[in-house]
Amino acid sequence: MNSFEKVCNDKGLRITHQRSEIFRILASNLTHPTVENIFNKVREDLKTISIDTVYRTIATFEEYGLVKRVQLDNITRYDINLSLHHHLICSNCKKIEDFYWPDFDKMQLPNTIPGWGKVDMKQVIINGLCHQCKKLKK
Ligand SMILES: [Zn+2]
Ligand SMILES: [Zn+2]
C-alpha cells in the first residue's frame, strides 16, 4: 500500500478512496484479474461504484505505470507484477501463475524476426496442469 501512495505522490496522481480500494484489490491475492473480477470484488465495499469507474481507474493506473495489461487465455487481464516475467496457465482450473526465466529474456530472437517488424515484448506462456489439478486427475 505504501508503494501505491508513493507512486501516486511521485507521479502526481490524486489518491481517492476508490483508487485506493481498486489498487488494494489489484495487489491482493487475486492474480491477473479482469476488470469484471475487480468490479465484483470492489462492489462488496463500495456498493455504488460502476463498472465504468473501474474501467477508467484501471486505465489511469495503466497510464501511470501502476499495472500492466496482459492478454492471457484470450482475456484482457491486469498484472501488478511489473517485473519481466512469464506465465503458467492451468488448462483445468485456469489459474495463472508468474514465473521467471532470465535465460530466455537474455536470448537473441531468431534472425527472421527483425525482418518481420518491430518487437515490443517477448513473453512465454506455458499451458498445462497445475500441481493440484494433476493430483486430482490421477
Ligand atoms: Zn489447475
Ligand atoms: Zn503475471
Per-residue pLDDT, averaged over 62-86, amounts to 92
62 is written with which cell numbers?
A: 495503466
Q: What is the CA radius of gyration of the chain?
A: 18
Compute the distance from residue 49 Cα to the ligand 1 centre, in Å.
Answer: 32
Supply the pTM of this predicted model: 0.84
Query: What single string gives the DSSP state of each residue in 37-98?
Result: HHHHHHTTT-TT--HHHHHHHHHHHHHTTSSEEEEETTEEEEE---SS-EEEEETTT--EEE
Compute the distance from residue 65 Cα to the ligand 1 centre, in Å.
Answer: 30
For residue 43, what are the contacts with CB-CB under 8 A and spacing of at least 6? 49
Domains in the chain, start-ordered, CATH in brackets?
2-79 (1.10.10.10), 86-136 (3.30.1490.190)
Compute the distance from residue 32 Cα to the ligand 2 centre, in Å.
Answer: 6
Per-residue model confidence (pLDDT) at position 115? 86
Q: Assess whether pLDDT exceeds 80 at residue 2.
A: no
pLDDT tens sequence across 98-129: 999 999 999 988 988 888 988 888 999 999 99
Ligand with smallest separation from the Cα of 98: 2
